[in-house]
Every structure is written in structure tokens, then in C-alpha cells.
Chains A and B, each alone.
Chain A
């Protein structure tokens, strides 16, 4: 059993001094089921970190810990701390809604608001959180452009969000997350329901986003992880709670990992 508190901060410190998000000894439970064990990870600001590992190893649970979506599941519990700019987001004085404003999320299944138009969908976060932002037109254009959707929808911003194709809906969801200007964007297998073309488009979007914000992406797709991420964290489970095997730069994980299990996984020997 390897040491589970590997971090990517050693390499990160040389490039970016400032840590965007960090977990220390994070655990997660669903009722009595211990889902995640002792995860300590640092996500350097303005980088893309891929979370990889076989099904059921707690990847999604882990990123839901990072923006306090975990607590919506009845019976959920956690331990450890999650630091955003060095402040624990699980402090009793911290407002979960404020955390989610700074740490946005894109879900596995595209979920645009069906009762809203494309434009309203993009602006929904601003309205829902009561933010005062001028120039809504600029925000709509800017966010849709960054999500790679502007050219396709600029002439039908009044159409329902549900009228778009699956890939377009997912990019609309990304645009929606960007409109509230998060510092971190969590993506839970954002391309698992999409065709290769849309996947490619979203991967380009992720790379562009990383110039401004920190992206953490859960993926089942090895090629995707190697294409888009700067760092990779490999999770595994032996039937019990999921744990972190190894985290390092993506190049090292895919070419010369320290743990033989990582090598087996990235070479497709299991998972």
C-alpha cells in the first residue's frame, strides 16, 4: 500500500507559487459506507488537473467535496479539510453558496435549464446568486465564445436551451458556469455523453480556460487526460474506500509513473 498523501505541489511550486485549491486528509462517507480515504492533493492555480481511475473509486465524490455538493446527498459525511486560498471551506462560518460561486461545476449529463432561453441560461447564475454585473450582452457573448458555442448560437439566443444538441448543451453549461466568474471549475466526466467532435471542442475550451482559472476534470478517458491535463491524480479502490495512489505531472504519470499500478492502469491493463 503506497503512501496516500502524495501531492503535486512539489513540482507546482516551481511554476506557480500560489495554490488555488488544496485538500488535506479528506475523507467521505455515505451513511456507513466509507467512500474516500485520506486524500491530500494540491491543485496549482491556472492549471488543469485530471482525476483518473477505475469506476467506483470515488473520483466524482472527491470533486463534489471540493464545492460542497457532497452534502446534498442524504447521509453524507466528510472529514479533513478543503482549502481555497488557505481558508477551509468547511468552516462553520463559511457560506456554502459563496463557495459554489467561486468553485463552479459542470456535470456529467448536460443539464441546461429547460424553461430558459440560451441567453437566460448563460445569465442564470448571475440572477440566481443576485450578482450585480453590468453589460449582460457582453457577458453572454464572452462566455459563449469562451465555451466555443458563440458562432453556433449567436443568431438564436432566444431559443430554448433544450433545443440544442447534446454537445452544444454541455458547452452551454460550461458558458453558464463561466458567467459567474469562478476561480475553479470542476468537471465531472463532461464528455462522457458526447460525440468525438464535441469532445474535441470541449477539450480545446478547457485548455483556453486554464489560462485564467483552475480546472479539475474527472475522466475515464486516458487519451483525454493526457491531452488536456497538466497534472494527473490516480485514484484506486481495493473494494474498500477509494484512495489516491499517485499524483504528478501528466507527462510523468503517462511515461514513468512511480507506482506499478498506475503504469498498469494508464497502459489499459485494467480499469
Chain B
């Protein structure tokens, strides 16, 4: 056997990607898409179909027609594949649109109020109608963070422990615990507020951040517990067996082997729990009420929160009050985004 490959030919070999779409075809596809989009604009301008939605529907319809026309000479399998690709892409874009619309309108209407004073002042000495240069939502931001923090401190240990009970201990009460968690996830948020109102607020005769946090915890627990259970179920039985075979007791195996293996999944459980409650308004109206002053005490009197801030200023309904409400919504979205990013960053990745 002889190898005839010389060093010259070896040197001229360039790395290539023969599987990628050739440039000519890419240009053709892009121009067809652009033409369909332009034609859809013409249709919107000269027919009864109107608005962005009208354009989108026309564009999707046109894309399907174009795809059918272009693949008319291809085999039926290729034709189906191309058609399904257009339909699935359209469906994905359609599902994305409402999210984009909400996000866009909050940013467009809320950015006006984003000024340093919005994050450094409360509304003690400012009336809702004052210019946006005055007053802010510091009290509401602090109140929301305080309540979510207390609610998380109550819920995360409880939720993860009940997940551990359902997947590791598998005791006699498994069915009962799972049933309670599932029914709790169906509780309307106002009912959670009412529950804390009758048990805690009337007993202490005071609205407070702690009461608000309790109501949020009631709503947060089922989300955290169910997600934790699902995540813990993913841990391979092998690893538990390995722990037991090393002479470990069940709880040591659960806390040293099983839980560390799914740390990032449990972070996700916490994120979902926070996301579930940070925007809740109704239970807070019955438990923490609202306040225009910056406060930190969790047990002493009503406290502001971003959702009740937004709700309150929308109710007032004047131009600057509504602008404050939009900015409050934007800050709420931003806080959720920042919390998620931090949790993803520090929650770590599953090393699997």
C-alpha cells in the first residue's frame, strides 16, 4: 500500500464547510423573503387589509404561496418539509409577538420616568401630579424586595424539603403532600391574601410587610415544591445507589449527593417561585396595603410595593400618575430580569 499524498497538496488543504448553504442560494432566499415582505406592504396600502397584523398575515400567506410555487418541481417530501418549516416559523413568531408587544409598550411608556430621583426618593412630599422630576418609587422597590426576600426565606427551604420528601423519603404521606401541593397551586391569589388577612392581619391588628410576605409564601410554595420535585426526579437512581453502597444514610445521600447534583435546577425552582409572586397585587392589598413613605420594618404598619404602586397610580388616573405607574411596571420587569440573570449566574450549571 502506498500513500501518494505529497506535502504540497497537504499544505493547500483549506478547512471547508460543504454542508452549509451556498451563498447564491442564501441571497436568493433573502431576496424572495424581502420581495414577499414588500409585496405585503403594497397589499396593506391598497386593499382593505390594514395595520401591522394585516401585514403579518399577508406576509405569512404569501410565504406559503411562494414556498409552494418554488418547490412545485421538487419531490413531495421536500415540499412538505419546506411548507412545515414556514408554518412552524410563523407559529413561533406569532407566539413571540404578544410578549414583544407587552415588553415594547412598557418600555416605550415607562422610560420617561426613569430618572435618578425615581430610585432615590419616595412619595412622602410629592403629590401624584407633580412633574416626574420629583418623587420616586424607592419605597415601593424596597418594599417589594423585602417581601419577596422574606417569602423566599420561608418558601425555599419548605419547598425543597417537600420535594425531597416526595422523591427521596417517599413516606406514607407522599400522596397527601402531593395532593395538598397540587391543590395549593390552584388557589386564587386573592384567597391567599384573604387567608392571611383573617389569620395574621386581624390578629396583629396591623398591615405589615411580614403579612404580605406570608401571603406571597402561600402562593410561592406550590410552584417551588412542584418544580423541586420534578428536578429531583431527574437525578439518576445510580447516584443514590452509589451513596447507599458507600454506607451513607438516606438523609446524607439526599443532601450531599442528590441536591448538589441538581443545584441549577433548584435555582430554577426558586426563580419560578419569585416570578410567580413578584407581580402579585391582590393579596398585597389585603396584607401589606401600601404606603408613600420609605420603610424597612417588616412588622410595623403598611408598606409599599411595586405592584400596589402601579395599581394605586393607575387608579388616580392623571397624566403624571399614569406615567409613574408605567415606570413602576418597567422597574418591576427590570428587577425580575436582573434577579433571573443573577440566579443563572450564581446558581451554577449541572455538571452532568
Contacts and interface: CB of A to CB of B under 8 A. Distances in A.
Interface residues of B, number: 22
A115 B247 contact: no
A128 B249 CA distance: 8
B260 A97 contact: no
A128 B258 CA distance: 12
B246 A111 contact: no
Contacts of A128: 243, 246-248, 252-253, 256-257
Contacts of A180: 246-247
Contacts of B205: none
| Interface of chain B, main secondary structure | helix
Contacts of B296: none
B261 A130 contact: no
Contacts of B351: 114-115, 160, 162
Interface string B319-345: 000000000000000000000000000
Contacts of A101: 246-247
Contacts, number: 80
Interface in A73-117: 97-98, 100-102, 104-105, 107, 109, 111-116
A160 B349 CA distance: 12
A232 B350 CA distance: 42
B263 interface: yes
A129 B352 contact: no
B8 interface: no
B247 A124 contact: no
B247 A100 contact: yes
Given A114-B352, A125-B247, A128-B252, A72 B241 contact: yes
Nearest to B249: A97
Interface string A56-76: 000000000001010010000
Contacts of B236: 111
Given A114-B351, A115-B263, A115-B351, A67 B245 contact: yes
30 contacts: A97-B248, A97-B249, A100-B244, A101-B246, A101-B247, A107-B238, A107-B245, A111-B239, A113-B260, A114-B261, A115-B257, A115-B350, A115-B351, A116-B260, A124-B243, A124-B256, A124-B257, A125-B246, A125-B248, A127-B256, A128-B243, A128-B246, A128-B248, A128-B256, A129-B246, A129-B248, A130-B252, A160-B351, A176-B246, A177-B246
Interface of B: 236, 238-239, 241-249, 252-253, 256-257, 260-261, 263, 350-352
Closest 8 CB pairs of A and B: A101-B247, A128-B248, A115-B260, A125-B246, A105-B245, A111-B238, A129-B247, A100-B247
Given A107-B241, A111-B236, 8 more contacts: A104-B245, A109-B238, A111-B239, A114-B239, A124-B246, A128-B247, A130-B252, A173-B242
Interface of A: 67, 69, 72, 97-98, 100-102, 104-105, 107, 109, 111-116, 124-125, 127-130, 160, 162, 173, 176-177, 180
